[in-house]
Structure 1
Amino acid sequence: MRLSGFASGMDINQMVSDLMQAERQPLQRMQQDQQELVLKMTEYREVNRAFMDFRNNTFDTVMRRSNMDVKQVTSSNESLVSGTANAGAANGTYTISNVQQLATSAYNFSSGEDGVDGDHGSIVIDGEEFDPNDSLLGQTDKLRDENITTDDTEIAFGMTTFDENGDRVEVEFSFDEDDSLNDMLDEINRSELGVQSFYDANSGRVSLTRTDTGTFNPEEGGNEILFGVFEEGETEEDEETFVESAFLTETLRFDQEKEVEAQNAKFTLNGLDGVERRSNEFEIEGLNISLHNQFDDPVTLHVSNDTDDIFDTVMGFVDEYNELIEMVDEKVSQEYHRDYAPLTDEQRREMSESEIEMWEERAHSGLLRNDRMLTGALDQMRQDFYGTVDSGDANQTFDQITELGITTTRNFRDRGRLEVDENKLRQAIEQDPDSVYQMFAADGEEYEERGIARRLRDTLSGQIDMISQRAGRSEMASNQQFTIGREIDQAEDRISNFERRMQQVEERYWSQFTAMEQAMAEANNQAGQLMSQLGGMGGGQM
């Protein structure tokens, strides 16, 4: 039980509070030290994320051959022939002439009976309203084909096309009385047949088209879309037979003989007559060619290195590297303000927002000043750039980064930031783009055999692991998995232990003041009794 100044008249609460404020002075420093560890961990992780981003990005820049061996294709007549080139395409000129025909797709459609006036191939009886989204078997009285009736419960048929190897692709379909014509056509479109079908309500006809251009049926002059499937004979000696699907030929009124034939593109390439391709877009040795029209006079496609794209890729890599160096250099060069420890919650409550902002700017500064891990990383990366690269190619044109016009600045305070002689870099790319690529991406077992980007990746991977051991990663489940995390936990334990001691000290103060109050109250009580007795004695003598 606490007594607060009833006997002494003193403000015991305030006295205990003042005493405890003095006792708790070391706690503020403990909390600031712990917060500084948290801030330092955050700084390390920021650097580590930058290291990881740069390391990962190298795969999509100077280490990707398609970025460093970019080709450009120029056509003498883009409206007739255009092209693009893969990285592996050889530089040179390709001439295309005498394009006799473009590649086209085979197609067929519902057709009427020859010589019958008014029969334009509609599958629907004239004057009837047929809904392609309603049950087909529920509308058989509206169809021209009298062999299909509402008593039927199933519609089954098969179709055959051919793949790129000339092998047959046979698909059999089965539908019930609830399926509509559009349901059937959608199923055909989704199948492996490689055809596109639709129903035209205005004409009442169905159209079928191969999705790929060119001829696939190995039989010369053979149809590309067959309205039926092949069945094997009963014995090995019996030949297979083609079974026509009545639903296709009678209900949908397709006529095998009326197929509009497909054709391959035919042209002359670099003097080779009679070259054929199934598509108007095709590849020859990494060159993708697109034919847009028929023509006779020669059209040339010129393949060359795209110096601008390669130049932009290298410059992007250099800029990103410089940004990384600048960011790390700022961390290790910032001034450290010893007198500006991180603010505690109590200190924040006593300061304005502008004061807090100014204080924290200094408190966060210089936490990684002259950090050995980071300065060591900067030194190693600078060494990675200046080491000779031996790609193992006897025809290698460049083996030093300076030969590409890339050097570090003369100011030693720049920590190895790069500068580029753009004219020299362009000349190197035009002279030997593959050697430029190898300067960055060469892969070998020895350090000298690895390109600059690979060396940097190895260096950064090692630094990332070291920083992770020191400052951890966000996905780590426990602070005990890294050094600063353990230090933070230890600081937390010291704070908790100090808080418990403060509770004991406060209890001791209250016990002492309570004992004082009790003693004074007892003394006051005794004095009162004595005065009462003395007063009684005086009254009797009178």
Structure 2
Amino acid sequence: MVMRITGMASGMDIDKMVSDLMNVEKIPQTKLRQKKDLLSFQMDLYREVNTKVASLRDSLDQIRYSSNMTGMKATSSSTDVTASPVSSVSASTITVKVNQLASSAQYTTSAVSKLGFIGNSVSAATNIQAGVNDSLAVALDGTTKVITLAPNVYDPAQLQSELQIEIDKAFGSGRINVGLNGSNQLSLDPVAISTGYQPQVTVYDINGGLGNLGFTPGQSFRLNINAPLSDMASKFGNGTTLSVPGQFTVSNGTTTATIDYDSTDTIQSIMNKVNSSSTNVTMSFDAASDSFTFKSKLTGAASQISLNDTSGNFLQAINANGASVQGSDASIDITQDGGATQTITQSSNKFTYNGIAYSLNKVTTNDVTITVAGDADSIVNKIKNFVNSYNDLMDLVNRRLAEMPSRDYAPLTDDQKSSMSESDIANWNAKVKQGLLSNSDDLKNIKNSLRELLTKSVDGVSSDFNALYKIGITTVPYVVGNQQDAGKLQIDETKLRDAIAQNPTAVSNLFTNNPGLESQQGIAVTMFNRANDMLSSLIKKGGKATSMIYDDVTTDLGKQVYNLELNISDWNSKLSKKEDDYYKRFSDMEQAIQKSNAQISWLSSQMGG
């Protein structure tokens, strides 16, 4: 950067003159910034449309499946059994008695840990030195504290006392008792809570202090599922000494997974291997009960689990070797309209029977009554929601296409914004945005693509109900000069309810048919697919509705914004050099004037002036 000299010799305001000159030089960059702002405004407008299309798609999602458009509802006399129609069914009264729920195969072991925490004998004179061997970490059920012993030479009883004091400071008194036996072995005994559960205690070395206490890194009161198996070999309550490496199998009756392990594995890593296997069997550990559970993700009598050691003895160590269990089917008595009772079995507690989806929540002692009745309101309300979303989208599209650009309004520069209030800036920007989408092919496509479906006849549906207008859904009458309401929908609710009452299946099919042929595809199915395509196109154009990023190069407009930002950045360098050049020229001028003034002064002095 050149030295910037003010106009002391010339009397000129050099800074003002350079600033004025630079304002002219900045014009190309300012135009680039304004172009970038226009593109950002366009992205905002497209994202606004994106939001409306997404809302329409959500409303269509509620009417494109026949299970949502049955026109019937099921009311249960008890939460023990709930039900809902998923296809065309008649009004009826059904009684249900749940004799047995479906269950998954599950095996839970007995307690597995060899409880206790005792170290090796400690020295008769243990020398604890500050920063050398004075620290260890103690974890009590996941809460870890650093324990630092005071420097000293301790006998075993003194070492017990000092460790107790520091543990009490860290966790509070009465949480962990430090013991000492006749063999000079220290022990850590977690105090049981009200339920009788004794928390897990684990120790870790920091600077050698652990060894002075006779403890080993990772030593724990009960099984430590995150410690290497090599440290857990003798921690099993049934007396088994774990041998590694080894393997065991988990079978669900049709698929068998072989689980390998070695000394570097942990119980947690073994559980992860079981849980990620192809058997649909999960393995978990419950610290409170000190037990492992193997459970099938599937329910029913076909759900099975078989566990067997093939080498090593891991399953034996956790009391699970040779375990074999099976799930059970649900048993239900169903009586419809006073007819014969049918006893059925199901592998799941959620199933569909004769067009009704049931959820079994409890075994029942008394019959549960399911009343199936007409529910025209559910269809009418979903169709109203669709129409409202459709009209909201059309209103916005019509408005954006009809807007005339405001030629007198350009994006504000930073200097202009600095002298305006926030509300004035917002109003100005609204004028700038006006008409930016007036020639948008994307918006024209949205309007035309959706409107053509409003008169579509769905093949395969009863001819009395195979088009929207036949069930009371028509376009708003055109009024000359009123483009705002063009293409919007209106509902004749009386006609719609009459159609539902006469043939709810046909009304449902008009929206939900999906046989694979476009001519037979329901209105909601086709419109949902088109709305999806529109969203993809709008996202490609201007980004997701929730995005705040404008230079995303994966979008069409974002790529243009990114390129403009690069050009603007280049201009910053050019303008900086140009400003330095102007200051250099004025500096040269100032120096020339100073030299001239000096010469005039000298001549004047020589002439006696």
**What residue number does 1:463 align with?**
534
Go from structure 1 to structure 2 and tell me whether the alpha carbon gap of 1:189 and 1:6 turns closer, same or farther (over 3 Å shift). Answer: closer
What amino acid is the match of 1:401?
A: L
Go from structure 1 to structure 2 and tell me whether the alpha carbon gap of 1:266 and 1:516 turns closer, same or farther (over 3 Å shift). Answer: closer
1:438 aligns with 2:545: no
Q: TM-score, normalised by structure 2?
A: 0.54
* Residue of 432, 443, 456 corresponding to 1:363: 432
1:451 aligns with 2:451: no
**What residue number does 2:581 align with?**
508
Distance 2:474 2:385 in 1: 15
Distance 2:429 2:399 in 1: 17
Go from structure 1 to structure 2 and tell me whether the alpha carbon gap of 1:357 and 1:48 turns closer, same or farther (over 3 Å shift). Answer: closer
1:323-368 deviation per Cα after TM superposition (whole angstroms, max 9, x unaligned): 2222332332334322222222221111133422332232233321
Distance 1:6 1:277 in 2: 104
Distance 1:439 1:274 in 2: 36
**What residue number does 2:605 align with?**
532
Distance 2:496 2:441 in 1: 34
Structure 2: any 5+ residue segments left out of the alignment? 102-193, 199-236, 240-285, 296-300, 302-330
Task: Give the Å deviation of 1:407.
Answer: 0.2
Go from structure 1 to structure 2 and tell me whether the alpha carbon gap of 1:508 and 1:87 turns closer, same or farther (over 3 Å shift). Answer: closer
**What residue number does 1:249 align with?**
none
Distance 1:490 1:289 in 2: 57
**What residue number does 1:519 align with?**
592
1:409-450 deviation per Cα after TM superposition (whole angstroms, max 9, x unaligned): 003621311100101101111111121111112224443221
Secondary structure in 1 matching 2:490: strand
- Give the alignment of 1:254-333 within 5 angstroms: 285-286=354-355, 303-333=372-402
Go from structure 1 to structure 2 and tell me whether the alpha carbon gap of 1:495 and 1:72 turns closer, same or farther (over 3 Å shift). Answer: closer
For the Cα contact (< 8 Å) 2:74–2:85, is it kept in 1? no
- Give the alignment of 1:58-77 within 5 angstroms: 58-59=60-61, 61-72=62-73
Secondary structure in 1 matching 2:607: helix
1:404 aligns with 2:471: yes
Go from structure 1 to structure 2 and tell me whether the alpha carbon gap of 1:15 and 1:444 turns closer, same or farther (over 3 Å shift). Answer: same
**What residue number does 1:49 align with?**
51
1:18 aligns with 2:20: yes
Task: Give the Å deviation of 1:89.
Answer: 6.3
Task: Give the Å deviation of 1:307.
Answer: 1.5
Task: Give the Å deviation of 1:57.
Answer: 4.2
Distance 1:339 1:330 in 2: 20
1:153-207 deviation per Cα after TM superposition (whole angstroms, max 9, x unaligned): 989xxxxxxxxxxxxxxxxxxxxxxxxxxx9997999898xxxxxxxxxxxxxxx
- Give the alignment of 1:209-228 within 5 angstroms: none
What amino acid is the match of 1:376?
A: N
What amino acid is the match of 1:443?
A: N
What amino acid is the match of 1:319?
A: N
Task: Give the Å deviation of 1:320.
Answer: 1.8
1:387-421 deviation per Cα after TM superposition (whole angstroms, max 9, x unaligned): 1111x36x565211111100000036213111001
For the Cα contact (< 8 Å) 1:268–1:274, is it kept in 2? yes
Distance 2:83 2:561 in 1: 58
Task: Give the Å deviation of 1:23.
Answer: 3.0
**What residue number does 1:424 align with?**
495
Distance 2:578 2:288 in 1: 88
Distance 2:421 2:91 in 1: 71
Go from structure 1 to structure 2 and tell me whether the alpha carbon gap of 1:74 and 1:482 turns closer, same or farther (over 3 Å shift). Answer: closer
Distance 1:185 1:490 in 2: 61
Go from structure 1 to structure 2 and tell me whether the alpha carbon gap of 1:488 and 1:62 turns closer, same or farther (over 3 Å shift). Answer: same
1:415 aligns with 2:486: yes
1:372 aligns with 2:441: yes
**What residue number does 1:30 align with?**
32
Secondary structure in 1 matching 2:10: coil
1:88-125 deviation per Cα after TM superposition (whole angstroms, max 9, x unaligned): 363154587xx9x99699xxxxxxxxxxxxxxxxxxxx
What amino acid is the match of 1:469?
A: K
Task: Give the Å deviation of 1:506.
Answer: 2.4
Go from structure 1 to structure 2 and tell me whether the alpha carbon gap of 1:267 and 1:188 turns closer, same or farther (over 3 Å shift). Answer: farther
1:387 aligns with 2:456: yes
Go from structure 1 to structure 2 and tell me whether the alpha carbon gap of 1:133 and 1:461 turns closer, same or farther (over 3 Å shift). Answer: closer
**What residue number does 1:234 align with?**
none
Distance 1:526 1:289 in 2: 106
Distance 2:489 2:429 in 1: 33
For the Cα contact (< 8 Å) 1:89–1:285, is it kept in 2? no
**What residue number does 2:87 align with?**
88
* Residue of 554, 560, 566 corresponding to 1:487: 560
**What residue number does 1:8 align with?**
10
Structure 1: any 5+ residue segments left out of the alignment? 106-130, 136-152, 156-182, 193-215, 217-263, 537-542
Identical positions, percent: 30
| Structure with higher helix content | 1
Go from structure 1 to structure 2 and tell me whether the alpha carbon gap of 1:493 and 1:389 turns closer, same or farther (over 3 Å shift). Answer: same
What amino acid is the match of 2:90?
A: N
Distance 1:385 1:471 in 2: 28
Number of equivalences: 387
Larger Rg computed on CA atoms:
1
Task: Give the Å deviation of 1:265.
Answer: 9.3
Task: Give the Å deviation of 1:19.
Answer: 2.2
Distance 1:27 1:315 in 2: 51
Distance 1:516 1:386 in 2: 79
Task: Give the Å deviation of 1:65.
Answer: 1.8
Go from structure 1 to structure 2 and tell me whether the alpha carbon gap of 1:530 and 1:405 turns closer, same or farther (over 3 Å shift). Answer: same
Distance 1:520 1:265 in 2: 108
Go from structure 1 to structure 2 and tell me whether the alpha carbon gap of 1:525 and 1:301 turns closer, same or farther (over 3 Å shift). Answer: closer
For the Cα contact (< 8 Å) 2:553–2:559, is it kept in 1? yes
Go from structure 1 to structure 2 and tell me whether the alpha carbon gap of 1:483 and 1:303 turns closer, same or farther (over 3 Å shift). Answer: closer
Distance 1:3 1:274 in 2: 104
For the Cα contact (< 8 Å) 2:60–2:386, is it kept in 1? yes
Task: Give the Å deviation of 1:384.
Answer: 1.4
Distance 1:436 1:424 in 2: 12
Secondary structure in 2 matching 1:419: strand
Distance 1:9 1:265 in 2: 103
What amino acid is the match of 2:427?
A: M
Distance 2:335 2:5 in 1: 111
Q: TM-score, normalised by structure 1?
A: 0.60
Distance 2:551 2:525 in 1: 32
Distance 1:268 1:8 in 2: 108
Go from structure 1 to structure 2 and tell me whether the alpha carbon gap of 1:342 and 1:278 turns closer, same or farther (over 3 Å shift). Answer: same
Distance 1:69 1:336 in 2: 48
For the Cα contact (< 8 Å) 1:72–1:85, is it kept in 2? yes
Secondary structure in 2 matching 1:535: coil
Distance 1:267 1:494 in 2: 74
Task: Give the Å deviation of 1:311.
Answer: 1.7
- Give the alignment of 1:335-350 within 5 angstroms: 335-350=404-419
1:360-384 deviation per Cα after TM superposition (whole angstroms, max 9, x unaligned): 2322333212422202211220101
